[in-house]
Amino acid sequence: MKSTPDMRAVARRARVSIATVSRCLNDKRVSPAAEQRVRAAIKELAYSPNRLARSLRSQKTMTLGMVIPDITNPFFPAVVSGVEETARAARFALILFNAGEDEEREWECLKVLQALRCDGVLLIMAPEGPAHARRSTQLQQFRLPVVYLDRAPDFEADMVLADNVHSAKEAVRHLLALGHRQIGVLVADLAAAVHRDRLEGYRAALREAGLTPSPVLEARAKPTVADGYAATAQLLARPDRPTALFVTSNRLTMGAMSSIEAHGLRCPQDVSVIGYDNYEWNDVYHPKMTTIAQPTYLMGARAAELLIHRITGTQTKEPQRMLLKSTLIIRESTGVCPAGRDKARPARPLRS
């Protein structure tokens, strides 16, 4: 059986010392001629550095761990892409876990990443559950550096977030500018801080316009298409049904649009809709969706940079809180509120 080439073999092929090969692999200065021979030898021999041996010498595995709450939600893989590319550029590998929106499973993932001797962890937290207080204590005592993304913990820590309050206010202000006053909100589980912030922004924009937020126009649902459909149906059945909807998650948006059509209503002629997150399928919808586009890739990239700086010791200041701006993309699903629609009738009931 052919043996796997090691650093000695590379040194012999390149006619340099093992120390020179090591310096070249670690991006330290060597002569251009020596570097050229080492790179050529590595390619000819298909040499791959032994990560375990290197980690024993450096006390670092050059590996980042990441835990996301739901791998089937397209928002989270979009964030992961920013993390992965930034990590790879810095020669870090990435180990990814899916917590399934469960805080107990999330903790099990974190313990595995610690056992694998990852140098640090990026975490998008699962929604708060019965074990929230215990989880908060565990996270603060966790021995690896952690950077939180998207969902903020309730303690001081490194975190990279989107400005959800501001973006929600911007969305509702757009609807107000179009003449809408009966503006409903379809908000996902308040156990996640992002949705609490979006609801806060919605209410703040109404108050700024001299309107009192109405609890009957606030529908809460699990972040699924089916629950978005059902919650929207309840809002549309009201005598004072909303002329516009602000929806705080992409799956709820899909459910809302389906429900509007099923109730014989048109968007935006009867109900304007602003959704959250910007994907290619937003352009496939008819009408094309007005959405809040979050800086998903940038969020992942900035978080990976911050974590790597913590690991390498180039960032030693107090915990950093980065707040990134989202963008309201106006398309066809929002329109001017027709005259007299402030006293809108309920939609026709669905046929059995």
| pLDDT: which is higher, 54 or 120 | 120
pLDDT at 29: 81
Q: Which of 54-58, 151-155, 260-264 has the lowest mean pLDDT?
A: 54-58
| pLDDT: which is higher, 331 or 349 | 331
Q: Which of 28-32, 221-225, 305-309, 337-341 has the lowest mean pLDDT?
A: 337-341
CATH superfamily for 61-162+296-324 is Response regulator (3.40.50.2300)
Please tell me the distance from the alpha carbon of residue 173 to that of residue 168, in angstroms, as a whole number.
9
Cis preceding linkage at 153, omega within 30: no
> Please, which residues bridge with residue 219 across strands?
186
Dump pLDDT digits (tens) for 55-92: 445 557 889 999 999 999 889 999 999 999 999 999 89
Question: What's the distance, CA 315 to chain centroid?
Answer: 23
Q: Which of 32-41, 132-141, 311-320, 334-343 has the lowest mean pLDDT?
A: 334-343
pLDDT above 90: percentage of residues in the chain: 65
Strand, helix or coil for residue 25 = helix
**Would the CATH topology of 61-162+296-324 be identical to that of 164-294+329-343?**
yes
User: Which own/partner pairs from 214-217 qualify as long-range (CB within 8 Å, at least 24 positions apart)?
Assistant: 216/240, 217/182, 217/183, 217/184, 217/185, 217/242
Buried b (16+ CB within 10 A) or exposed e, 268-297: bebbbbbbbbbbeebeebebebbbbbbbbb
CATH 3.40.50.2300 fits 164-294+329-343, yes or no: yes
pLDDT above 70: percentage of residues in the chain: 90
pLDDT at 137: 93
Burial class from Cβ neighbours inside 10 Å (0-12, 13-18, 19+) for residue 331 reads: middle
The answer to whether 161 and 195 are in contact (CB under 8 A) is no
| pLDDT: which is higher, 92 or 28 | 92
Q: Which of 305, 294, 297 is nearest to 81 (CA)?
A: 297
pLDDT at 351: 41
From residue 193, alpha-carbon distances to 51, 184, 319 in Å are: 38, 20, 19
pLDDT at 347: 45
pLDDT at 268: 95
Q: What backbone phi and psi angles, to 5 degrees, belong to 179?
A: 95, 0
| pLDDT: which is higher, 111 or 343 | 111
As given in the structure block, the two tokens for residue 128 are 């708060």
Average pLDDT, integer, range 174-182: 96
Dump pLDDT digits (tens) for 134-147: 999 999 999 999 99
Question: What's the distance, CA 43 to chain centroid?
Answer: 37
Does residue 166 carry a pLDDT above 70? yes
From residue 207, alpha-carbon distances to 9, 145, 182, 221, 274 in Å are: 72, 40, 13, 24, 19
Average pLDDT, integer, range 46-62: 63
pLDDT at 50: 61
Dump pLDDT digits (tens) for 191-204: 788 999 999 999 99
Answer CATH for 8-49 from 3.40.710.10, 1.10.260.40, 3.40.50.920, 1.10.1530.10: 1.10.260.40
pLDDT at 207: 97
Where in the chain are the domains?
Answer: 8-49, 61-162+296-324, 164-294+329-343
pLDDT at 167: 97
Q: Which of 227, 218, 131, 222 is nearest to 182 (CA)?
A: 218
Q: What is the mean pLDDT of the chain?
A: 88
